[in-house]
């Protein structure tokens, strides 16, 4: 990253100066180098389409959301944390990849949640119940409190990304690098994630709206519960195995909503609450966030299956939607057999064999249909809002989830 003598960044009203040679400047420079795949969509075509949709949407809300949480990230407290994170450079601890995502976002658009909150806020506009004095504070059709909510949403999401990067030391092997590096990295992941979450909670209290606090607090609880379920279910047993021909997608949807959808859905609802919109507007905003999140997750899960060629080296999660649905179709016994056949002599999975097995059944096509269903439901929810540039951008984002 090439930084001038002093880089001035505007986030909301305050201006933040990054001094050359400061610990955070060095951390930004180090963190960007060697960036590995953080992209939401693996194919260049899908990634390009998604990036254009998001870039157009950012122009509507007034500024890029890539640096939405910089006020927190450039604070003195996190600068001290960054000095310690630099010690992880050269190790394989996943905290480094997460740190890179803080400052590098031009192609990957990781901070989608804040952008959706801002677009919905602009699309809905001021409510009839809002006072004239409150309306005067709007910038680009968005209340300051709604912009603060968008930042809070991103901080919470980032905090959980950091916490999820903690390495399970019970599964540590020599190939992962020195044990002391992993232990130190885990301590920094806990500290950094807690710091971000604490800042988010402080900002949440400053919104002075008890219903918004209740909504976002429940979203944090949902995130914790969703991550717990992900770790609780054994990948060989999975969700609802052995259902034969009938595939029940509800268990996967419920779990995916907790870990990937609740934060966005409830943040969208909270944005309507801050503008004093009625319950129906809040319900529709919630539905848009919910269905967009689930469609987005399905699209991400589907990438290895719709773009990869048979025999190609492709890894994927065994909790991905196509795999979960495939397990239900073939049943528990056959799934265990396929897992054993895909294991190498070193007891590691040969993902190309497992990929072929999953593609041979209807799990992939079922996931594609479900992705289109949630994309269409998101489009339906947004139609009740007035026609505007912001609504068109939200429609484009929901449609982009459908592209493979």
CATH of the domain at 392: 1.10.600.10
Q: Is residue 249 part of a domain?
A: yes
Q: What was the pLDDT predicted at 215?
A: 96
Q: What was the pLDDT predicted at 109?
A: 46
The candidate with the shortest Cα–Cα distance to 275, out of 48, 118, 41, is 118
Is 314 within 8 Å of 355 (Cβ atoms)? yes
Q: Is residue 346 part of a domain?
A: yes
Q: Is residue 93 part of a domain?
A: yes
Q: Is residue 32 part of a domain?
A: no
Q: Is residue 344 part of a domain?
A: yes
Q: What was the pLDDT predicted at 398?
A: 93
* Domain tally, the chain: 1
pTM listed for this prediction: 0.77
Q: What was the pLDDT predicted at 393?
A: 92
Q: What was the pLDDT predicted at 132?
A: 62
Q: Is residue 189 part of a domain?
A: yes
Q: Is residue 166 part of a domain?
A: yes
The dihedral through the CA atoms of 85, 91, 92, 93 has a sign that is negative
Q: What was the pLDDT predicted at 76?
A: 54
Q: Is residue 402 part of a domain?
A: no
Mean pLDDT by 10 residues, the chain (404 residues): 32 34 34 32 56 75 54 52 55 59 47 87 84 69 90 88 77 70 78 84 92 96 87 57 65 92 96 94 97 94 78 74 91 87 74 86 93 96 94 93 84
- Residue 324's domain comprises 46-235+244-397
């Amino acid at each position: 990253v090439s930084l001038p003598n002093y880089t001035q960044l505007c986030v909301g009203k305050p201006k933040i100066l990054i001094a050359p040679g400061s610990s955070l400047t060095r951390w930004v420079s180090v963190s960007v180098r060697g960036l590995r795949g953080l992209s939401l969509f693996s194919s260049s075509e899908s990634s390009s389409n998604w990036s254009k949709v998001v870039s157009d949407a950012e122009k509507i809300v007034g500024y890029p959301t890539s640096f939405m949480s910089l006020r927190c990230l450039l604070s003195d407290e996190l600068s001290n944390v960054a000095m310690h994170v630099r010690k992880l450079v050269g190790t394989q601890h996943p905290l480094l990849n997460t740190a890179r995502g803080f400052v590098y976002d031009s192609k990957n658009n990781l901070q989608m949640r804040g952008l959706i909150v801002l677009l919905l806020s602009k699309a809905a506009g001021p409510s009839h119940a809002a006072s004239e004095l409150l309306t005067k504070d709007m910038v680009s059709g968005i209340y300051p409190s709604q912009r603060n909510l968008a930042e809070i949403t991103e901080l919470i999401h980032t905090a959980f990304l950091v916490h999820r990067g903690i390495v399970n030391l019970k599964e540590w092997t020599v190939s992962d690098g020195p044990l002391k590096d992993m232990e130190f990295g885990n301590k920094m992941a806990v500290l950094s994630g807690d710091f971000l979450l604490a800042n988010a909670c402080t900002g949440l209290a400053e919104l002075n709206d008890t219903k918004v606090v209740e909504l976002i607090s429940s979203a944090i609880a949902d995130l914790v519960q969703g991550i717990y379920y992900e770790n609780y279910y054994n990948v060989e047993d999975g969700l609802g195995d052995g259902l034969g021909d009938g595939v029940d997608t509800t268990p996967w949807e419920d779990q995916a909503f907790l870990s990937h959808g609740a934060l966005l859905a409830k943040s969208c609802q909270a944005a309507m609450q801050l503008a004093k919109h009625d319950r129906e507007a809040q319900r529709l905003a919630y539905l848009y966030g919910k269905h967009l999140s689930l469609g987005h997750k399905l699209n991400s899960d589907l990438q290895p299956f719709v773009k990869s060629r048979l025999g190609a080296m492709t890894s994927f999660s065994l909790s991905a939607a196509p795999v979960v649905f495939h397990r239900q179709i073939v049943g528990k016994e056959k799934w265990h057999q396929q897992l054993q056949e895909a294991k190498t002599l070193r007891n590691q999975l040969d993902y190309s064999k497992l990929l072929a097995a999953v593609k041979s059944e209807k799990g992939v096509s079922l996931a594609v249909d479900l992705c289109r269903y949630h994309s269409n439901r998101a489009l339906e929810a947004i139609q009740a809002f007035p026609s505007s540039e912001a609504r068109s951008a939200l429609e484009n984002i929901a449609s982009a989830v459908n592209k493979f």
